[in-house]
Chain A
Amino acid sequence: MPSLNSSSRRSRRFVPAALGLAATLLFAACSGDLPQPEPERAAAAPEPVLTQEQLDTVLDEVEVDLTTGDASMNPADLGSRVTGTAREIRTAEYLIEAADPARPITLLPRENSMVIVPASNDWPRDIVVITEPPAESQIPRVMVLQQETPRDNFALTMWSQLLPGVSMPAMPLPTEGAQPLENDAEGFALTPGEVGDAFTDVLSGKKADDEDSQVELFAEDPLSTAIRDEYKTLKDGISAVGSVKKTFEAAEDPVAAFEALEGGAIVITSVQEITNFKIDSGSLNVSSDAAVLLDKESINSKLETVHELSLVFYVPPQDSDEEITVLGETRDLVEAAGK
């Protein structure tokens, strides 16, 4: 009996230890079984930055902001969805239309016929929207919505309008996403970053055989022709009272650039056309638009106007014989200063 007692005592002593061990093992087993995150595999290639649903939301909000601003003709009401060049141009348009209702603001329809959505994991991100032709025109607009940083929202940064008769190259569907191009992307007649600068040669009327001239890369386009013609006219007209000089400054970076499905690229960029008038004697009556911005109709010494050229190019592949084609372009007065 004593042995029994001692053994039972011993076993009693072991009970808590055994229980503890069991609990530890159980706990260890349980903790080992904690589920781990099992995300889907990351896509091999970047995905479109927006879904159709998100795109619609963005476009709706852009429209709301535009409509709000257009209704009050007050740039302050444009909201956060209109920025950059687009905001500048719109601001100028409000002033011009307010002064002369015969020169209305540019209509930007909400309905679109084509959207280029980038497939990208980086910023900035640009969406290109080709709208349906507005009511008063047969020409579709091209809008660029840019998200500069992750914490910014997509906002209308510029718009242009397609030239009559041109057709957009085939682009990937929004659900697939287009491949955005870096400024220095190779494989094209020009890198996207060089297009705007090269186009200034065309605008400024460089000859094909001039040094560093890249004029021959570009096909004829109506806007540059018109600008050159206007420049010549101005020179002739102002020669009695002073002089005029136009300079063109291409934006450092293109606004957007995408690779087209069948090779080539769409490059959207802007160029500033700066016109400087110098009055030596007398005064100069300024154009109506400039007068609105300037808030006076004539200047006595100098005048500087700035036009924003919003340009859409098709850049063919490097080996192609095609020329760089201007698909769309607009010229908007955004600034005028003089005295």
Chain B
Amino acid sequence: MNGILGFLRRFAPWVVITLGAVLAIFGVLTRTAWAPDPFWTASVQPDEDTRLVISDPGMLNLMADNVTIEATVVPADDLAADPEAEDEEDEEPAEGEEEETEPADGDEAEGSEEDGADASQEADEDPGVIISIARDIDAEGWVGDAAALRLTGLQTESTLRTSEVDGELEAAASEDSDLWWQSASGLTDAQLVWQKEPGRWSAVIASSADRKISQVSFTWPQSTETPLAMPLIMGGALLILAGAALLVFPQALDRDARDRFATSVREKAGAAHPQPAGEEVGEEQVATGSTTHPGSEADADLTAPVEDAGDAQAAQPAQPEDVSQTSQVPATAADEDLVVAESVVAAEDAPAISDQQVPALQQAPAQPQPVAPAASAPEPIRFAPGTMTRRQIRELERQRQEEARRAKEPPRASQPRSGNESPGAAEPSRAGSPGTAESSHVGSPGAAEPSRASSSDAPEQRGSQPPVGSAGGEAAGSSNDTSRVRRSEHWRKTWGVGPESQTDARTTGWLPQAVDDEEDRDA
């Protein structure tokens, strides 16, 4: 679970950016590659000799208010059977061929002129094909008993459905009938655009006597609106921006702000239950066990809670809750782990706090401000990701330990590790830092318990510490650094806490005391 959360947290910005990009791409595609075809065309190529085509009412505006009707004719038997007309027809294609094969500009110009003249002349006499729009009654009347092809709908998306109307083949093309609402003509093809009007309208397509209709097509404009495109693009852009923002300001997702918030909440609660910050952090001390005296108030601050847990576990495996929560905490534990540890510890030790904590943690990103007061005092030495490197922490620890050692040097013989053994005296020097870390380190179960209790009862913690210190007092006092190291190793072996698995240098500074205590007791 934590792993998943961590994974999500780490990759959330990229996930968001990717999602945004996908949405935006979809949006753009709906406008471009997937954009709806602006036209819907359906056509029919009559198999038989067709001289008249009539559309059913409703066909013209089948798909849209606008329709473009196109009709093409090809030469066919001359129904008029006029020999002169046939002769003209014979000459016509021959001329056309000549023109096509003539490359010379001048000839071409002449040819086209001739062609234009011929075409216009022919158009006057013989329009070739005429498309007309009329009221359905009038169109029906005009077609009368003649053979016709009736357009009745769509056969497929691109094919017009037709039905044959039996009758005599007639070539009745007439461009200027009073019945026509609109008409268009052409020699070989014609095009007519019809805008819907109230009423029942039909199209009549008629060819001249020597031509038959080869194709009729209806083209309707389609809506090219893509209402989803803009929302998709905008949404995608917003997601990309949001992802980018998360990359730039990871705090938004980050434990840092949340931790600070949680800290502040705890400190607020600390009025009733001191030692608020002590519950935070602290996974490291499990790994430590190193020789030096913990000393650092700030670290104690941070590590106390986990120390509690870890120590409790180490010293007293009999407490399953603690073990389960803390034993796995690695030196490099992520903040989620901390959070879990915190909450559990708090739940055990100070329900009142835990109740506040959990929601507070959840809301941490939204309420970062409360951190400020808590951070003021211990800020410089407090451990928080991003504020101190491990090396810095280690050095800090070392310095403090050196100072402490130097200070203790003289009285060590008679009263070893006064700081440890008499926490009551030592504590004050820790600038009020929660000595809980040490107390929690106590190996004995008896000591551990109270110490944890004390960790939640921050003010009393010092008071509770003396027993701890006294417990391991004598041994710790006589031990030197070397023995401490050895003992801590021994402790690690005993409890299966390998240094390789928990080697976190930054924690080395503050475990030794407790370890010493424990080892002392063991000894």
Of the candidate stretches B6-14, B137-145, B419-427, the one touching chain A is B137-145
Find A50's partner among B57, B141, B178, B198 (CB 8 Å cutoff): B178
Shortest Cβ distance from A27 into B: residue: B156
A153→B62 contact, CB < 8 A: no
Q: How many residues belonging to A are interface residues under a CB distance threshold of 8 Å?
A: 24
> A58: CB under 8 A from chain B?
yes
A121→B56 contact, CB < 8 A: no
Of the candidate stretches A34-42, A86-94, A100-108, A298-306, the one touching chain B is A34-42
Known: A34-B153, A36-B153. A153 touches B177 (CB 8 A): yes
Find B198's partner among A30, A40, A57 (CB 8 Å cutoff): A40
Find A39's partner among B136, B156, B177 (CB 8 Å cutoff): B136
Complex-state Cα separation, A164 to B267, whole angstroms: 116
Known: A37-B56, A37-B59, A39-B56. A150 touches B157 (CB 8 A): no
> A154: CB under 8 A from chain B?
yes
Complex-state Cα separation, A329 to B142, whole angstroms: 34
Where chain B touches its partner, the secondary structure class is loop
B138→A150 contact, CB < 8 A: yes
| A interface footprint on B110-149 (CB within 8 Å = 1, 0 otherwise) | 0000000000000000000000000111100110100000
> A10: CB under 8 A from chain B?
no
B62 partner residues in chain A, CB cutoff 8 A:
35-37
User: Of residues 28 to 71 in A, which have CB atoms within 8 Å of B's CB atoms?
Assistant: 30-31, 34-40, 42, 46-47, 49-50, 54, 57-58
Which of A39, A50, A153, A154 has most B Cβ within 10 Å?
A39
Known: A30-B157, A150-B144, A151-B142. A38 touches B174 (CB 8 A): no
Complex-state Cα separation, A37 to B172, whole angstroms: 27
B172 partner residues in chain A, CB cutoff 8 A:
151
Known: A123-B141, A150-B144, A151-B172. A40 touches B199 (CB 8 A): yes
A37→B58 contact, CB < 8 A: yes
User: Of residues 41 to 72 in B, which have CB atoms within 8 Å of A's CB atoms?
Assistant: 56-59, 62-63
Instruction: Give chain B nearest CB distance to A182 CB in angstroms.
Output: 18
Instruction: Give chain B nearest CB distance to A19 CB in angstroms.
Output: 21
A147→B178 contact, CB < 8 A: yes
User: Of residues 120 to 153 in A, which have CB atoms within 8 Å of B's CB atoms?
Assistant: 121, 123, 147, 150-151, 153
> B375: CB under 8 A from chain A?
no
Known: A37-B153, A147-B178, A154-B178. A42 touches B200 (CB 8 A): yes
> B470: CB under 8 A from chain A?
no
Known: A121-B137, A150-B138, A150-B141. A38 touches B177 (CB 8 A): no
B156 partner residues in chain A, CB cutoff 8 A:
31, 34
B57→A37 contact, CB < 8 A: yes
Q: How many residues belonging to B are interface residues under a CB distance threshold of 8 Å?
A: 27
> B152: CB under 8 A from chain A?
yes
User: Of residues 9 to 33 in A, which have CB atoms within 8 Å of B's CB atoms?
Assistant: 30-31
Complex-state Cα separation, A37 to B61, whole angstroms: 8
Known: A34-B156, A40-B198, A121-B137. A150 touches B142 (CB 8 A): yes
Shortest Cβ distance from B181 into A: residue: A54
> B176: CB under 8 A from chain A?
yes
Complex-state Cα separation, A37 to B196, whole angstroms: 13
| B interface footprint on A184-213 (CB within 8 Å = 1, 0 otherwise) | 000000000000000000000000000000
Shortest Cβ distance from A147 into B: residue: B178
> B404: CB under 8 A from chain A?
no
A40→B200 contact, CB < 8 A: yes
Complex-state Cα separation, A332 to B153, whole angstroms: 55
Instruction: Give chain B nearest CB distance to A65 CB in angstroms.
Output: 13
Instruction: Give chain A nearest CB distance to B62 CB in angstroms.
Output: 6
A37 partner residues in chain B, CB cutoff 8 A:
56-59, 62, 152-153
A54 partner residues in chain B, CB cutoff 8 A:
178
> B25: CB under 8 A from chain A?
no
Shortest Cβ distance from A41 into B: residue: B200
> B28: CB under 8 A from chain A?
no
B177 partner residues in chain A, CB cutoff 8 A:
150-151, 153
> B350: CB under 8 A from chain A?
no
> B272: CB under 8 A from chain A?
no
> B252: CB under 8 A from chain A?
no
Instruction: Give chain A nearest CB distance to B202 CB in angstroms.
Output: 9
Instruction: Give chain A nearest CB distance to B48 CB in angstroms.
Output: 23
B200→A34 contact, CB < 8 A: no
A34 partner residues in chain B, CB cutoff 8 A:
153-154, 156-157
Which of A49, A151, A153 has most B Cβ within 10 Å?
A151
| A interface footprint on B150-168 (CB within 8 Å = 1, 0 otherwise) | 0011101100000000000
B137 partner residues in chain A, CB cutoff 8 A:
46, 121
Shortest Cβ distance from B202 into A: residue: A39
> B179: CB under 8 A from chain A?
yes
A151 partner residues in chain B, CB cutoff 8 A:
142, 144, 172, 174, 177
A34-B154, A150-B141, A150-B179 provided; 12 other pairs, C-beta below 8 A?
A37-B56, A39-B200, A40-B58, A40-B199, A40-B200, A46-B137, A57-B178, A121-B141, A150-B138, A150-B177, A151-B144, A153-B177
In the complex, 11 of the A-B residue pairs with CB atoms within 8 angstroms, ordered by the A residue number, are A30-B157, A34-B153, A34-B156, A35-B62, A37-B152, A40-B58, A42-B136, A47-B135, A150-B141, A150-B142, A150-B144
B residues with CB within 8 A of A: 56-59, 62-63, 135-138, 141-142, 144, 152-154, 156-157, 172, 174, 176-179, 198-200
